[in-house]
Structures are given as structure tokens and as C-alpha cells.
């Protein structure tokens, strides 16, 4: 009877230790996931900043292209007049 209780106690202690080890593993995994999430948030913010800068550049280049087209068309009209 006592040996059975001791065996049960031993198994319970082993399960408890295994559970504690699993908790430590999960806490470490959670820490890593948290760090990855922070890194992704920073990367997303930088990507949004780059996107906004690209939009500004595209608008600027589009405006310049339109202006150049107007200049070319005006120059062609002036050449025809001559």
C-alpha cells in the first residue's frame, strides 16, 4: 500500500516536472513570438513609409512627364508654324 502511494507520488512529481518544463518551453516560445511580432510591426511601418515615399515619387514623375509632354507639343506646334 505504501509502495503504491510512493509510486503514485513519484509519477505525479514526474508529471508535474514535465508540466513545468512544458510551461518554460511555451513561455520561451511566447517570448520569441512576441519579439517576431515587434519586428514585423517595425517592418510594416517602414514598408508603409516607403510606400508613401514611392507614391510621392510617382506623382512627381507623372507631373513632370505631363509637363514635358506639354512642352514637346508646344515645341512641335511652333516648328509647324515656322
Kindly report, residue by residue over 42-51, the tens digit of the pLDDT: 999 999 999 9
How many Å is the Cα radius of gyration of the chain? 35
- Residues in the chain with pLDDT values less than 70: none
At 81 the pLDDT is 82
At 4 the pLDDT is 87
What's the grid cell of residue 14?
Answer: 514526474
At 80 the pLDDT is 86
Cα dihedral: 69, 73, 78, 82 (round 10): 120
Amino acid at each position: 500500500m505504501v509502495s503504491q502511494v510512493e509510486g503514485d507520488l513519484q509519477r505525479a512529481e514526474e508529471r508535474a516536472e514535465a508540466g513545468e518544463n512544458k510551461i518554460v518551453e511555451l513561455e520561451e516560445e511566447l517570448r520569441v513570438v512576441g519579439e517576431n511580432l515587434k519586428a514585423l510591426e517595425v517592418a510594416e511601418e517602414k514598408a508603409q513609409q516607403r510606400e508613401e515615399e514611392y507614391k510621392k515619387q510617382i506623382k512627381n514623375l507623372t507631373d513632370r512627364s505631363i509637363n514635358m509632354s506639354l512642352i514637346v507639343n508646344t515645341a512641335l506646334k511652333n516648328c509647324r508654324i515656322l
